[in-house]
């Protein structure tokens, strides 16, 4: 009993630290265990998705139109994370726009946003907003999975690929996630949630062809960090953020194909 209580307390402390690190949400106390926050990134994603789902349901209840509701959700999405991941996506886009590979990391480290960074931000926001507008059903689950798969993609980027800087804002993540095995608990959780539409389809004796679409979050989460690794030869804190943003956006886009 004592061991279980200590484990729960330790787990809560680490989760609280992850919430503080990845979001602007208030947390009681002063969490300080940031070394292992990357282990909890998908859980934080599910929390963000849950908050967005609740807000979406509330706005729908009072009659806010779908387009306005979707735009507000995307703005709140950025606000909850403090723009942490979007900033990384912008810096990564500026770096990839440089033709000289040796200068890319230097450009990415520059805090000044360039034209390509601005265009990347506009593209991500536009894709998320339009995709959410086209999603009429299961929005609550899709929001959960988009934020969850996006952060599992980040775990893959951390565990699978080399970190390109000896120091930096993302360097300590590499010490926490040393192997792909460390990403398995989050993968099992997300796969379980992704199977909910399939289970509902089977219970209602409906077709199951499109019910497996949420599972496509897994290959999306694998391909995006692989692409950044191909272009840069590794990962940085900025590409970790870019991975989250592009995985979320592309997952939402793919889900518009599923007519349920």
| pLDDT score for 197 | 82
| pLDDT score for 153 | 98
Per-residue confidence band for 1, with pLDDT thresholds at 50, 70 and 90: low
Helix 139-160 / helix 184-194 crossing angle, nearest 10 deg:
160
Residues 147, 46 contacting (CB under 8 angstroms): yes
- Which positions ≥6 away from 174 have C-beta within 8 Å? 158, 163
Query: Alpha helix locations (H) across the chain?
Result: 2-22, 41-61, 66-81, 84-96, 104-109, 115-134, 139-160, 171-176, 184-194, 196-203, 217-232, 237-255
State the average pLDDT over residues 191-219. 80
State the average pLDDT over residues 217-234. 95
pLDDT in tens, 127-141: 999 999 999 888 999
Residues 232, 217 contacting (CB under 8 angstroms): no
Prediction pTM value: 0.93
Mean pLDDT (the chain) is 89
Our CA angle for 19, 23, 28, nearest 5°, is 50
| pLDDT score for 127 | 98
Per-residue confidence band for 34, with pLDDT thresholds at 50, 70 and 90: confident
pLDDT in tens, 110-129: 778 888 999 999 999 999 99
Residues 210, 258 contacting (CB under 8 angstroms): yes
| pLDDT score for 169 | 64
| pLDDT score for 79 | 97
State the average pLDDT over residues 23-47. 89
Percent of the chain residues past pLDDT 70, beyond the cut:
93
| pLDDT score for 165 | 77
């Amino acid at each position: 009993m004592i061991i279980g209580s200590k484990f729960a307390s330790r787990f809560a402390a680490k989760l609280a630290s992850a919430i503080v690190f990845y979001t602007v949400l208030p947390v009681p106390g002063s969490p300080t265990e940031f070394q292992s926050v990357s282990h909890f990134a998908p859980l934080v994603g599910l929390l963000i998705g849950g908050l967005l789902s609740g807000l979406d349901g509330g706005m729908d209840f009072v009659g806010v139109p779908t387009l306005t509701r979707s735009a507000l959700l995307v703005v709140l999405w950025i606000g909850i994370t403090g723009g942490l991941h979007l900033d990384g996506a912008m810096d990564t886009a500026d770096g990839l726009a440089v033709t000289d590979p040796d200068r890319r990391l230097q450009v990415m480290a520059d805090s000044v946003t360039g034209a390509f960074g601005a265009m990347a931000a506009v593209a991500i926001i536009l894709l998320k907003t339009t995709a959410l507008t086209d999603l009429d059903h299961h929005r609550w689950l899709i929001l959960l999975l988009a934020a969850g798969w996006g952060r599992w993609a980040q775990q893959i980027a951390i565990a699978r690929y080399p970190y390109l800087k000896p120091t930096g804002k993302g360097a300590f993540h590499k010490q926490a996630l040393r192997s792909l095995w460390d990403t398995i608990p989050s993968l099992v959780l997300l796969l379980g949630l992704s199977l909910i539409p399939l289970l509902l389809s089977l219970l209602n004796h409906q077709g199951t062809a499109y019910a497996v679409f949420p599972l496509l979050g897994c290959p999306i989460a694998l391909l995006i960090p692989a692409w950044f690794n191909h272009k840069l030869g590794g990962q940085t804190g900025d590409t970790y953020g870019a991975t989250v943003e592009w995985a979320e956006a592309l997952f939402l886009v793919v889900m518009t194909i599923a007519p349920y």
